[in-house]
């Protein structure tokens, strides 16, 4: 798709350029910085929670109510407001138009609205810390009836603001998602066939489709719970006696909420994971100077995982009291999804095989991602298999599993992505020594936190416990392990500020970057200016002649051939040239 040149007048005032911007690159940075800011809140909350677990009773201000509020807000912030927003709103916004060769998103105004609505969602969420009763402490899953009944912190205001914030977030995510999907489908430049797209785009594209289909389930669940809370309806509320008082509800089903929540919640795991998969694929290929192994298989694996992710949701509900026969179906689908996932892991590893591996900072994070993801993935096979899940469900094994697979792994991919694309975004390199230090502490630290935690789950320690005092089956040594984990968590958290420092310092003082410092093939590295200006491509849109992974092609002068480079023999841009460009 080509835009008329006059639709791309570069905004001239500070406000239209940096604040009310419709430029996807500025919006990406706005999304990223907002997500990082709220993510820091989530990080601090996790440390407060760990203080209580590691050193119970030592910190007076952490009472049971506060602990549950930390747990809840930490979970929701990290999953929705950090990871989802950063991967789709941040990486998606920045990379999609640049990687498919578009001048911007197809709906720039909607794109701007998407960010501002997201910001509103974040502000409403943050406001819940300051209302009477504080934020909700219902756990990030917000299961009713508990979430809206006394006995849970924040049932007056906190839960209402949380649900309102989610609903607003979903509006923002929908505006963004429609944009990303339409841009990928409609605005690819000449020659950029679907099967020539970098896997990063495939991952973000598929994740956006999942988001468009999954978030509505959370939207209606949120609205229904708001009605139950504020209007006295009984969607999720059967006849209930709460704290000795009979409530007026009748006939509702708490399980209905769980189905709706996980119909969103499981695809949500892949909304976070698929962009990370894509990013890591491109990082590994670029820094191993080798084409991604089995590109077509990788694409189909992403699509298959995306499709299957909608039929596995009730593996979160094996002990929920749902019809036990569902267990057969969901255990089977869940274990089937492991096959395309495993293929992705093999192909990353086989990309390293016979490569020319440069252990740059982005590459360190990408390999750290694989290790974390493998650990998180194989523990998922325990929890997906219904009879194995039942003893482990609701224990620390689950906490360790999902933190590894959708906390640590995606965040390592995000860090890798930031170290990789920062030179394009700012025109400067991030400091490498700080980056390496950041990698080692984060990778080893998170491993030290979560690997032993699985064993507390084997032991049977239940999650979401404020204190484990006086439980005879828990040996004292478990408390020592908890203290160790807390210390690791504090150290890892502290070193994230090193990353922030690097991010800010390098923006002004970092080594100036070349336009293509890693020698990458994809379009975003072929822009006429770095950082790319408004409209991205100057006078003419790029034309794509080959797939995204022509690294170390035999006979080629350099060890990479940009996607824009025509094949020898055929005049650039002709159909013959395009036809022969397929690997």
Partner 1 sequence: MVLAVALILVTVASVLFHFLSPWWFTPLASNWKLIDDTILITLVITGGVFVAVNLFIAWALIRYRHRPGRRATYEPENKKLEGWLTIGTSLGIIAMLAPGLYVYTQMIRVPEDAIVVEAVGQQWQWRFRLPGEDGRLGRTGAAFVSLDNPLGLDPDDPDGHDDLIVPGPDLVLPLDRPVLVLLRAHDVLHNFYVPQFRVKMDLVPGLVSRFWFTPTATGRFEILCAELCGVGHWNMRGHVEVVDKSAYREWRAALPTFGAVLAAAADDGLDEAARRGRELARERGCLACHTLDGAAGIGPTWQGLYGAERPLADGRSVRADADYLAEAIRDPNATLVAGFPAIMPRVDLSEAEVDALVAFIRSLGAPTAEAQGADPMPPGDAPAANEAAHGAPR
Smallest distance from partner 1 to CB 186, Å: 28
What interhelical angle do 199-230 and 93-100 show, nearest 10?
150
Decide: residue 231, CB within 10 A, 0-12 exposed, 13-18 middle, 19+ buried.
Answer: exposed
The answer to whether residue 170 forms part of the interface with partner 1 (CB under 8 A) is no
Nearer to partner 1, 32 or 395 (CB): 395
Smallest distance from partner 1 to CB 3, Å: 33
Distance CA 525, CA 535 (A): 15
Q: How many alpha carbons lie under 13 Å from residue 240 in its C-beta half-sphere? A: 23
Instruction: At 242, give phi and psi (nearest 5°).
Output: -110, 125
Distance CA 2, CA 541 (A): 8
Choose which of 2, 7, 467, 574 interacts with partner 1 (CB under 8 A): 467
Nearer to partner 1, 358 or 511 (CB): 358
Residue 260's H or E segment, with its range, is: helix 254-287
* Count of residues touching partner 1 (by CB under 8 A): 114
The answer to whether residue 369 forms part of the interface with partner 1 (CB under 8 A) is no
Smallest distance from partner 1 to CB 289, Å: 5
Stretch that binds partner 1, among 150-158, 181-189, 308-316, 535-543 (CB under 8 A): 150-158
Choose which of 16, 47, 233, 253 interacts with partner 1 (CB under 8 A): 253
User: What does the per-residue mask of binding to partner 1 show for 64-93, with x meaning CB under 8 A?
Assistant: xx--x-------------------------
Contact 284, 292 (CB under 8 A): yes
The answer to whether residue 241 forms part of the interface with partner 1 (CB under 8 A) is yes
The answer to whether residue 521 forms part of the interface with partner 1 (CB under 8 A) is no
Between residue 432 and residue 461, which ones bind partner 1 under the rule CB under 8 A?
440, 444, 447, 451-452, 455-456, 458-460
What tokens were used for 550?
A: 């022509």
Choose which of 42, 89, 108, 153 interacts with partner 1 (CB under 8 A): 153
Stretch that binds partner 1, among 91-99, 261-269, 305-313, 315-323 (CB under 8 A): 315-323
Nearer to partner 1, 339 or 500 (CB): 339
Instruction: At 246, give phi and psi (nearest 5°).
Output: -80, 130
**Residue from 386, 392, 377 nearest 457 by CA:** 392
Between residue 388 and residue 427, which ones bind partner 1 under the rule CB under 8 A?
388, 390-391, 393-395
Nearer to partner 1, 32 or 152 (CB): 152
**Residue from 132, 136, 133 nearest 165 by CA:** 136
Distance CA 579, CA 571 (A): 12
What tokens were used for 475?
A: 């040996």
User: What is the torsion angle, in degrees rounded to the nearest 10, for the CA atoms of residue 247, residue 252, residue 257 and residue 260?
Assistant: -150
User: What SS3 state is found at 395?
Assistant: strand
Neighbours of 73 (CB within 10 A): 28
Nearer to partner 1, 8 or 464 (CB): 464
The answer to whether residue 491 forms part of the interface with partner 1 (CB under 8 A) is no
Distance CA 563, CA 547 (A): 6
Choose which of 296, 433, 509, 557 interacts with partner 1 (CB under 8 A): 296
The answer to whether residue 132 forms part of the interface with partner 1 (CB under 8 A) is no
Between residue 48 and residue 67, which ones bind partner 1 under the rule CB under 8 A?
63-65
Stretch that binds partner 1, among 207-215, 308-316, 376-384, 416-424 (CB under 8 A): 376-384
Smallest distance from partner 1 to CB 366, Å: 11
Indicate left, alpha or beta for 565 from its phi (over 0: left) and psi (-120 to 50: alpha). beta
Stretch that binds partner 1, among 167-175, 176-184, 356-364, 493-501 (CB under 8 A): 356-364
Nearer to partner 1, 6 or 246 (CB): 246
Smallest distance from partner 1 to CB 455, Å: 4
Stretch that binds partner 1, among 269-277, 362-370, 411-419, 510-518 (CB under 8 A): 362-370
Choose which of 110, 213, 374, 493 interacts with partner 1 (CB under 8 A): 374
Distance CA 497, CA 478 (A): 30
Smallest distance from partner 1 to CB 506, Å: 23
**Residue from 209, 205, 210, 368 nearest 283 by CA:** 368
Distance CA 312, CA 549 (A): 33
Smallest distance from partner 1 to CB 511, Å: 20
Residues composing the chain: 583
Q: How many alpha carbons lie under 13 Å from residue 91 in its C-beta half-sphere? A: 35
Between residue 317 and residue 346, which ones bind partner 1 under the rule CB under 8 A?
319-321, 324-325, 327-328, 331-332, 335-336, 338-339, 342-343, 345-346
Between residue 181 and residue 220, which ones bind partner 1 under the rule CB under 8 A?
none
Strand partners, 395: 462
What residue spans of 21-133 are helical by DSSP H? 24-54, 64-76, 93-100, 108-127
The answer to whether residue 531 forms part of the interface with partner 1 (CB under 8 A) is no
Stretch that binds partner 1, among 20-28, 222-230, 493-501, 551-559 (CB under 8 A): 551-559
């Amino acid at each position: 798709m080509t835009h008329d040149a006059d639709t791309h007048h570069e905004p001239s005032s500070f406000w239209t350029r940096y604040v009310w911007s419709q430029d996807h690159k500025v919006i990406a940075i706005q999304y990223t910085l907002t997500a990082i800011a709220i993510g820091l809140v989530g990080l601090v909350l996790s440390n407060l929670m760990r203080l209580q677990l590691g050193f119970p009773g030592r910190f007076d201000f952490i009472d049971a109510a506060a602990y549950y509020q930390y747990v809840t807000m930490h979970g929701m912030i990290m999953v929705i407001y950090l990871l989802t927003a950063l991967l789709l709103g941040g990486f998606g916004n920045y990379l999609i138009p640049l990687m498919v060769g578009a001048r911007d998103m197809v709906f720039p105004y909607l794109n701007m609205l998407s960010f501002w609505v997201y910001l509103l969602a974040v502000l409403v969420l943050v406001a819940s810390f300051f209302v009477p009763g504080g934020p909700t402490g219902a756990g990030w899953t917000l299961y009713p009836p508990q979430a809206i009944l006394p006995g849970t912190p924040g049932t007056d205001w906190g839960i209402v603001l949380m649900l309102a914030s989610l609903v607003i977030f979903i509006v923002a995510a929908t505006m963004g998602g429609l944009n990303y999907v339409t841009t990928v489908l409609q605005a690819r430049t000449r020659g950029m066939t679907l099967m020539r797209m970098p896997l990063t785009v495939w991952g973000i594209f598929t994740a956006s489709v999942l988001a468009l289909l999954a978030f509505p389930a959370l939207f209606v669940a949120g609205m229904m719970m708001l009605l139950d809370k504020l209007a006295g309806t009984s969607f999720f509320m059967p006849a209930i006696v709460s704290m000795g008082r009979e409530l007026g509800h009748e006939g509702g089903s708490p399980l209905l909420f769980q189905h709706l929540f996980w119909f969103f919640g499981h695809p949500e795991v892949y909304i976070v994971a698929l962009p990370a998969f894509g990013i890591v694929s491109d990082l590994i290929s670029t820094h191993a100077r080798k084409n991604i192994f089995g590109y077509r298989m990788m694409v189909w694996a992403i699509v298959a995982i995306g499709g299957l992710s909608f039929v596995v949701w009730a593996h979160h509900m094996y002990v929920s009291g749902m019809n036990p026969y569902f267990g057969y179906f969901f255990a089977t689908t869940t274990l089937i999804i492991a096959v395309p996932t495993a293929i992705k892991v093999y192909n990353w590893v086989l990309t390293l095989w016979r490569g020319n591996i440069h252990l740059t900072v982005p590459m360190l994070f990408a390999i750290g991602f694989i290790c974390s993801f493998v650990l998180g993935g194989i523990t998922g096979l325990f929890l997906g298999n219904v009879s194995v899940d039942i003893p482990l469900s609701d224990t620390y094994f689950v906490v360790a599993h999902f933190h590894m697979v959708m906390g640590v792994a995606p965040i390592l991919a995000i860090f890798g992505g930031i170290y990789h694309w920062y030179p394009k975004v700012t025109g400067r390199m991030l400091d490498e020594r700080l980056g390496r230090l950041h990698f080692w502490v984060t990778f080893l630290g998170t491993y030290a936190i979560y690997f032993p935690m699985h064993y507390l789950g084997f032991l049977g320690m239940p999650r979401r416990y404020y204190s484990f005092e006086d439980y005879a089956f828990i040996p004292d040594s478990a408390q020592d392990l908890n203290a160790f984990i807390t210390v690791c968590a504090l150290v890892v958290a502290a070193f994230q500020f090193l990353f922030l420092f690097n991010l800010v310092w390098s923006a002004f003082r970092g080594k100036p970057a070349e336009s293509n410092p890693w020698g990458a093939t994809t379009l975003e590295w072929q822009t006429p200016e770095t950082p790319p200006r408004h409209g991205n491509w100057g006078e003419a849109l790029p034309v794509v002649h080959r797939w995204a992974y022509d690294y170390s092609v035999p006979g080629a002068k350099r060890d990479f051939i940009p996607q824009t480079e025509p094949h020898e023999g055929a005049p650039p841009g002709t159909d013959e040239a395009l036809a022969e460009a397929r690997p």
